[in-house]
Structure 1
Amino acid sequence: MPVNLAHLLNSAPASPPRSNPRRSIENNGPLPSRLRELLSPTAIRQSIDQNTTITSDQQSDQQSNQQSNQEQDNHPNQSEGSNQQHEPVHQETPLNAIQPNLFTSSASREPLYPPENRKPMQAVTFQLPPPVYNGVFQSGKQIKDPIYQKPIAMSSFSYTKGRQMLNGLRRFESLRPFVDAPDCIGFDLRTGIDERIYRDESVDEGLDGMLLCLSHQLESCEKTARLGLLRRIAETEFITWRGMLTKICSAVYEGSSSHNSGWEMNAMMVNGTIYIEESVTPESIAAKQTESQNIIPTYFGHSYESLMTSAIGGFDQVDTNIQWCSVVKTNLNQIKLILGGEVDCIKPEGFHQLQTHLENKTEIQPDEFIEIKTSALITNDREILLGTPLINIGFRDKSGFIRKSESLVTKEIPALVKSEADPSSRWSASLCLDTGAKILKFIKETIDPKRHDQLARHESEFKKYCAIETQKKMKFEKFEFNHNRWKHWPVFRIKFHTPPNSGEKGMKMRGSIEIQELDYETQVIGIVQKLKPKGSRVGFLSLVWFEHLVKQEMAIMNNEIKRERKEKVNQTS
């Protein structure tokens, strides 16, 4: 059924009013020494055994005793506190290692406010590698080809004219076939320009569509396949749009100009996975609106796409609200990725087969994808990243008339560039992918709980919260999702700075990537969340998806506990 994105996000519970805005850290749980004792292997085994055997009366006694112990831990005497050694910022907590009564319910509901006078993380910079010429560095050294796994489709969804999102059996509704129009030569790309409809760019949808698509898949897939899908998502290192990764990979060749001053993205880590979205600000919206005033060059691309995906002899109205998006899994140099991206059309044979078997639940694989362009400038990172095997290019003159239509095989383009490009060409697909992998590694090493106190605190509390709710669920107690706890989850800004100069000397200059933590009140709440569809959020992630992450981690923990108990029974029998 249709899903109205704004309505779904509005249905999330509103944040409750703030209370005790600066709760002291001492009241958030036991001292590190006590925590280490409670998380020891012996205590864990005892906890698991007790949870399976004790009666309800024993549970009450045990809870009161543990609460009493906790109160003592939460109010240590001064001499004990003065001798306490500082613990590392981040420690790995064993799965299934958290006891339900480790924290009181009131403490676990308090937002994790940053400590008083805490300053955001200082900017960290990564220098991009030097450019190469036709696959060779200036030193003459050949580029080592990166390893990029062939993308595999996980799910897909459609956007309609009204920007409604369609999942399930209707997810292919906006999908279109490729039609190699025989009479396209001489077509005027200005056709229909006065009837065009462009989607509202002032609304920052971020990752909402892709994450809601994954949420729907988790809810609708077979129970036997659900745990595998949960694990796959949990093990993913980066989730983002194909367009964001394209910018990251292409940064090595970006130069300074009046039209290119770099780009900015937002990033946050939740449960070990880093989410990256485009940074949308009032200034960037104004810039897009200024660009849209020069509509003719932009419209030419949409017009050619409409021509090549409409019935022969027809021309569908250009409406950029209508999209079909695919979500794929892949990895780049062993970095696990989930990417989402719009697909222009698919091969006509695959489209016909889909129309005759609408009940088919099988996803359309990237082998069927076709990208449509109206530019001879070929940088095929976009197609490689999503696995698109074929690109159709419509060559036009300055007046907007098609003069030639040609299809190219994506994997043959690097060799074509190397053999036919000007000797001074600096384009190399291998360097783009290799640089992209290095930038992702830099992002992962920087946005790391081991280097960031507030992120470590949120990641640790997330695991504890999931463990507590898992054990409550195993006792058939009601699941309580507390989103207010996570309202100050750290968000980071990734900035690409183009080389400072241009021309011969500027070619030797290199761009850089900078990462800096955002101020939560002024930048995250005041700008990032303000431009999103209405509804509660954790950072820039929708509350719908964040709750799925909690349930996802609980399901994995629950399965692990059952497996350990089964192994223990087998050992004793």
Structure 2
Amino acid sequence: MVAPYSKLDEWEMNATLFQDTLFIEENHDKKLSSRQEQSSAPRGKNAMSQDLMSFWGYKFETVSLLPEPWSNTSREYIESRENEIVSNYSQYCSIVRTGLGKIKMVIGGEVDAVMDVKPDDKSLPVNWVELKTTAAVINEREQIKFERKLLKFWAQSFLLGVPKIIVGYRSPQGILERVEELDTQAIPDKVRLNGKGLWDGQICINVASSFLEWLKSVVTEEGVWRIRKREKVPEIEVFKLEETGHGDILSPAFVTWRTQGLAALQSEQATDTSAVHGVNGVKAP
């Protein structure tokens, strides 16, 4: 979704077709290798390591969140959060049904927290919140970097239906200086009206919609396909890796469950049709 404005990014995804549905997931091996490359990349004299900055982000989450609602949490725990061991394990998974243009999608992704509590009524929206950290904006260069970060903040939360993003601004030494609450839906206008106008949310949506429509016209048979965006290359490549099967994208248990479920549904529909029209096409009494 951010590809039109992220020429320096590099990523890979895998796709497969099953029962006329396109399943897409991140290529986890590529993501892991990219993180390792970032960690081992040479840094400037005073630059902090990528691992340390990741720790700052997780620490921000640790001191900002509670495992239970405020009223159910002891004062002792609240005041001792600074001493909590940092972990990136605890998280929610938001699964939403949405669409871009003509494309209907079900998306799952990690979310940091809920602002209050999850409603018991599953039909009600969840008040998700995403936490982010970034360097304090102290000059024009940092402003440009921040606006580019906002693109990714917005795209992630927009797709998963996360209404709020809480941003912690830190010093170069990792000291939290201030916190800002952002309305996800308002971020594109914020960039357009108050920033440098480095990206347009509507263009991101239109490009993503057009690409997915095109992808459906390309991936029309089973097998495993690779979707790849290389660093400094504006094109997105799509090519086939495996001629048959679904790779690791779909588990055998899932394929069996869906196959048996479809067969049962078709059998039930056929039975209902026979009951209505009768054996020889005469309406049953």
Q: TM range, normalised to the smaller chain?
A: 0.7 to 0.9
Q: Residue 263 in 1 paired to residue 11 in 2?
A: yes
Which of 228, 232, 242 matches 1:495? 228
Report the Cα offset of residue 319 of structure 1: 1.8
The aligned amino acid for 2:113 is C
- Report the equivalent of 1:275: 23
Q: Shift in Å at residue 309 of structure 1?
A: 0.2
Conserved in 2, the CA contact under 8 Å of 1:538 and 1:546? Answer: no
- The structure richer in strand per residue is 2
1:225-236 superposed matches below 5 A? none
Distance 1:512 1:277 in 2: 19
Q: Deviations over 1:147-167 (max 9, x none)?
A: xxxxxxxxxxxxxxxxxxxxx
* CA displacement, residues 266-320 of structure 1 (integer Å, 9 cap, x when unaligned): 1100010111112234x65344234356311111111111111035323232222
- Counterpart selection for 1:561 from 257, 263, 270: 270
Q: Confirm or deny: 8 A CA contact 1:372 1:392 kept in the other structure.
A: yes
> Where does 1:82-93 land on structure 2 (aligned, <5 Å)?
none
Q: Match of 1:411? A: 185
Q: Deviations over 1:127-153 (max 9, x none)?
A: xxxxxxxxxxxxxxxxxxxxxxxxxxx
CA deviation after TM superposition for structure 1 residue 347, in Å: 1.7
Distance 1:538 1:491, change over 3 A: closer
- Could you say which residue in structure 2 is the equivalent of 1:392? 166
Partner of 2:45: none
| Partners of 1:325 and 1:342 within 8 A in 2 | yes
Does the CA contact (< 8 Å) of 2:102 and 2:209 recur in 1?
A: no
Contact 2:16 2:224 in 1 (8 A): yes
Q: Is the 8 A contact 1:264 1:494 kept in 2?
A: yes
Q: What is the deviation of 1:566?
A: 2.2
Work out the CA distance in 2 between the residues paired with 1:284 and 1:395.
26
Query: Is 1:296–2:68 an aligned residue pair?
Result: no
Give the 3 Å change call, closer, same or farther, for CA 499–285 of structure 1 in structure 2: closer
2:237 is aligned to 514
- Find runs of 4+ consecutive structure 1 residues off by over 6 angstroms: none
Distance 1:571 1:426 in 2: 65
Larger Rg: 1
- CA distance in 2: counterparts of 1:440 and 1:340, whole angstroms: 17
User: Which deviations, in whole Å up to 9, do the C-alpha atoms of 1:369-420 show, x marking residues without a partner?
Assistant: 0111112431201111111111111111101111111111111111111111
What CA distance in whole angstroms lies between the structure 2 residues aligned with 1:382 and 1:314?
31
Q: Name 2:62's counterpart in structure 1.
A: 306
SS of 1:303 mapped into structure 2: helix
For residues 406-447 of structure 1, what are the alpha-carbon distances to aligned partners after superposition, in whole Å with 9 as ceiling and x for unaligned?
Answer: 11111111111111112xx33111111111111111110000
Residues in 2 aligned to 1:398 and 1:365: alpha-carbon distance in whole angstroms: 41
**How far apart are the structure 2 equivalents of 1:280 and 1:405?**
32
The share of aligned pairs that are identical, in percent, is 25
What residue is the counterpart of 1:382 in the other structure?
A: 156
- Is the alpha carbon distance of 1:407 and 1:285 closer, same or farther for their aligned partners in structure 2, counting shifts above 3 Å? closer
User: Cα offset for 1:323?
Assistant: 2.2
Task: State the TM-score, normalizing by the size of structure 1.
Answer: 0.40
Q: Hey, what does 2:142 align to over in structure 1?
A: none
Amino acid at match of 1:513: I
Could you say which residue in structure 2 is the equivalent of 1:427?
Answer: 199
> What SS does structure 1 have at the residue aligned with 2:202?
helix
| Alpha-carbon distance in 1 for matches of 2:31, 2:158 | 28
Determine if contact 1:494/1:513 at 8 Å carries over to the other structure. Answer: yes
* 8 A contact 1:254–1:498 mirrored in 2: no
Aligned to 2:220: 448
Counterpart-to-counterpart distance in 1, 2:60 and 2:125: 22
Call closer, same or farther: CA 1:253–1:343 in 2, change over 3 Å: same
Q: 1:559 offset after TM fit, Å?
A: 2.4
SS at match of 1:374: strand
Where does structure 2 lack aligned partners over 5 or more consecutive residues?
A: 41-48, 67-76, 135-145
CA distance 1:444–1:372, shift in 2 (3 Å): same
Report the 3-state secondary structure (helix = DSSP H, G, I; strand = E; otherwise coil) of the residue aligned with 2:277: helix
Q: Describe the shift of the 1:371–1:264 C-alpha distance in structure 2 as closer, same or farther (beyond 3 A).
A: same
Distance 1:402 1:284, change over 3 A: closer
Unaligned runs of 5+ in 1: 1-248, 355-359, 450-454, 456-489, 501-510, 525-536
Deviation at 1:497, TM superposition (A): 3.7
Aligned partners of 1:545, 1:420: CA distance in 2, in Å? 47
| Contact 1:346/1:369 (<8 A) preserved | yes
Q: Indicate yes or no: 2:99 matched with 1:331.
A: yes
Counting matched residue pairs gives: 245
In 2, Cα distance between equivalents of 1:444 and 1:252: 20
Q: Does structure 1 residue 571 correspond to structure 2 residue 280? A: no
The CA distance in 2 between the partners of 1:364 and 1:341, in whole Å, is 19
Match of 2:4 among 232, 252, 260: 252
Cα deviation, 1:326-348, whole Å, max 9, x if unaligned, reads 21111111311111111111122
Cα deviation 1:179-201 (Å, max 9, x = unaligned): xxxxxxxxxxxxxxxxxxxxxxx
Residues 327 and 341, structure 1, Cα contact 8 Å, conserved in 2: yes
Counterpart position of 1:344 = 112
Once superposed, what is the RMSD of the aligned Cα atoms? 2.3
Question: Counterparts of 1:417 and 1:321 in 2: how far apart (Å)?
Answer: 32
**1:366, 1:389 within 8 Å by CA — same for their partners in 2?**
no
Any idea what SS the aligned residue of 2:15 has? strand
Q: 2:15·2:22 contact (CA, 8 Å) conserved in 1?
A: yes
Are the aligned partners of 1:373 and 1:394 in contact in 2 as well (CA < 8 Å)?
yes
